[in-house]
């Protein structure tokens, strides 16, 4: 069963330079990476039974990352998906997580962050059980937030701007900025997409009720 044991990362990105550097990074830590410049080429070559994960660019000509995700779902292929995007607006992040993505990383990405995410996705592919431990961690961080921090967190992850949150809570935008950075720190979230993923995973917000 050697094929089952070998860990594989499908890398799908229409930017050849980004594709080459990502493949080089993954191979430098001993992972096998298969590059594709289009979603369709990846779908044609995808083997559902591999111990694999997918690094998928959101915006590509022809077939975008969310369409690739949808087609995989229709085929019943459940490979862990990590989205990579230079334009991580909340509605796109929400759609990706709602459809089962395991992470959403903004370009230009931090190399260690990407490698950590890939390793977690591959271990999830091999042992789905570890997800429960991560969820418990996220829940513990949520429980450590003050009521005011939660007041700021919920509209933020639903896609409201800092100004809109300030109006809703009748506080200044500066105060929202302050609470937002405190929430990110307490939740150990590097980016807003990461925070959105945590909130959805913990059931704090319903992705179907997003704006």
pLDDT in tens, 123-168: 876 554 445 667 778 888 988 898 899 999 999 888 888 999 999 9
pLDDT tens for residues 61-75?
Answer: 888 899 999 999 888
Tens of pLDDT along 6-60? Answer: 789 999 999 999 999 999 999 999 999 999 999 999 999 998 888 899 999 998 8
Mean pLDDT of the chain: 86
**Entry pTM:** 0.66
Provide φ and ψ at 8, rounded to 5°. -130, 140
Instruction: Tell me the CATH architecture of domain 133-209.
Output: Orthogonal Bundle (1.10)
What is the domain partition of the chain in residue ranges? 2-128, 133-209
Region of 62 (left: φ > 0; alpha: ψ -120 to 50; beta: rest) is left
What is 2-128's CATH topology?
A: Rossmann fold (3.40.50)
The predicted pLDDT at position 132 comes to 61
CB-based burial of residue 113 (10 Å sphere; 0-12 exposed, 13-18 middle, 19+ buried)? middle
Residue 107: closest CA among 60, 51, 58: 58
pLDDT at res. 45 = 94
What is the rounded end-to-end Cα distance, in angstroms, of the chain? 47
* Cα-based angle 26, 29, 34 (whole degrees, multiple of 5): 30
One fold for 2-128 and 133-209:
no
| 92 touches 70 (CB < 8 A) | no
- pLDDT of 4 strictly over 50: no
């Amino acid at each position: 069963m050697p094929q089952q044991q070998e860990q594989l990362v499908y890398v799908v990105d229409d930017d050849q330079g980004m594709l080459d550097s990502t493949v080089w990074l993954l191979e430098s830590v001993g992972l096998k990476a298969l590059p594709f410049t289009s979603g369709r080429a990846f779908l044609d070559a995808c083997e559902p039974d591999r111990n694999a994960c997918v690094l998928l660019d959101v915006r590509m000509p022809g077939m975008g990352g969310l369409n690739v995700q949808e087609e995989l779902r229709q085929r019943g292929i459940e490979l862990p998906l990590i989205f990579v995007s230079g334009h991580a607006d909340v509605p796109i992040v929400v759609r990706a997580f709602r459809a089962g993505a395991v992470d959403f990383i903004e370009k230009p990405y931090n190399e260690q962050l990407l490698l950590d995410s890939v390793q977690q996705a591959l271990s999830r592919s091999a042992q789905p059980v570890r997800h429960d431990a991560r969820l418990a961690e996220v829940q513990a961080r949520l429980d450590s937030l003050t009521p005011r921090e939660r007041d700021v967190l919920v509209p933020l992850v639903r896609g409201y701007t800092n100004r809109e949150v300030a109006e809703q809570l009748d506080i200044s935008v500066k105060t929202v900025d302050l609470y937002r950075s405190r929430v990110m720190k307490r939740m150990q979230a590097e980016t807003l997409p990461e925070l959105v993923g945590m909130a959805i995973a913990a059931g704090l917000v319903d992705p179907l009720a997003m704006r």
